[in-house]
């Protein structure tokens, strides 16, 4: 019995520690839910935050990038309630290889910021990429991510976020994923959104 109580206490303490850590490193306000937060290899921090009233017709999602000491360098969209006009979503997977790739793309004029995760037989990638039109300018991998991206991702589709068109989607993935990814084949054998 003593061991069971200790195990429960240790699990609760670890959960609180992770929650506390995620809250410290996230750009999300106390009123927002962190959808994704990532410490990047360049020493910066990227967060995606959702408002508590997020639904198909209301609420907001925003992308925030800056320094760990909470200095915001980029916050998109300028009006977070307009996220459906500036955000697209992509999900590609291949059951044969077990690959699952997902991204959110925030647009700002000629530039876009892609927060992505991809997992396959020979790779596991998470990061933030910056594009100018269709050209990849910078790809910054995550050192440590602090949320359950895959669990949240599918619910974002139900909030009215449009899916990326297939040609743009493939162009983005071709620049982000290694050559071992199924997206580099001439015609990917499976794609699910």
Find out whether 159 and 87 touch, Cβ atoms under 8 Å: no
- Looking at the domain assignment, is residue 83 inside a domain? yes
Residue 65 has pLDDT above 60, yes or no: yes
- Please, what sign has the CA dihedral across residues 7, 12, 16, 19? positive
Over the chain, what is the mean pLDDT? Answer: 81
Please report whether residue 141 resides in a domain: yes
**What is the rounded distance in angstroms from the CA atom of residue 155 to the CA atom of residue 26?**
20
pLDDT-derived band at 150 (thresholds 50, 70, 90) equals low
Q: Which residue in 100, 76, 104 sits closest to 89, CA to CA?
A: 104
Q: Residue 189: pLDDT above 60? A: no
Q: Under a CB-based contact definition with an 8 Å cutoff, are residues 193 and 91 in contact?
A: yes
Task: Examine residue 69 and state whether it is found in any structural domain, yes or no.
Answer: yes
State the average pLDDT over residues 147-172. Answer: 80
The model carries a pTM of: 0.81
In-domain check, residue 51: yes
- Structural domain tally of the chain? 1
> In sequence order, what are the beta bridge partners of 140?
128
pLDDT tens for 15-57 read 333 343 344 578 999 999 888 888 999 999 999 999 999 888 8
Q: Is the pLDDT of residue 7 over 70?
A: no
Instruction: Name the residue with tokens 């999300």.
Output: 28
Q: Does residue 193 lie within any of the structural domains?
A: no
Q: Is the pLDDT of residue 192 over 90?
A: no
What pLDDT shows up at residue 13? 28
Q: What is the pLDDT of residues 109-119, one digit of tens each?
A: 999 999 998 88
Does residue 58 lie within any of the structural domains?
yes
Distance, in Å, from the CA atom of 8 to the CA atom of 2, rounded to the nearest integer, reads: 10
Band (pLDDT 50/70/90 cuts) for residue 123 is confident
Residue 93 belongs to some domain of the structure: yes
Secondary structure element (H or E) that encloses residue 21, with its range:
helix 2-25
Domain of 121, in residue numbers: 2-184
Is 23 a domain residue? yes
At 2, the pLDDT band (50, 70, 90 cuts) reads very low
Between 8 and 22, the more confident residue is 22
């Amino acid at each position: 019995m003593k061991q069971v109580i200790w195990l429960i206490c240790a699990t609760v303490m670890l959960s609180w520690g992770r929650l506390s850590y995620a809250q410290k490193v996230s750009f999300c306000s106390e009123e927002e839910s962190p959808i994704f937060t990532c410490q990047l290899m360049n020493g910066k921090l990227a967060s995606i935050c959702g408002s508590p009233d997020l639904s198909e017709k209301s609420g907001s999602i925003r992308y925030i990038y800056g320094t760990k000491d909470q200095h915001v360098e980029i916050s998109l969209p300028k009006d977070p309630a307009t996220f459906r006009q500036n955000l697209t979503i992509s999900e590609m997977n291949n059951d044969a290889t077990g690959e699952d790739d997902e991204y959110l793309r925030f647009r700002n004029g000629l530039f876009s910021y892609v927060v992505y995760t991809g997992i396959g037989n020979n790779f596991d990638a998470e990061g933030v990429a910056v594009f100018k039109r269709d050209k990849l300018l910078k790809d910054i991998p995550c050192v440590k991510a602090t949320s359950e991206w895959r669990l949240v991702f599918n619910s974002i589709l139900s909030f009215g976020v449009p899916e990326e068109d297939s040609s743009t989607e493939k162009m983005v993935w071709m620049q982000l994923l290694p050559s071992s990814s199924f997206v580099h084949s001439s015609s990917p054998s499976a794609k699910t959104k």
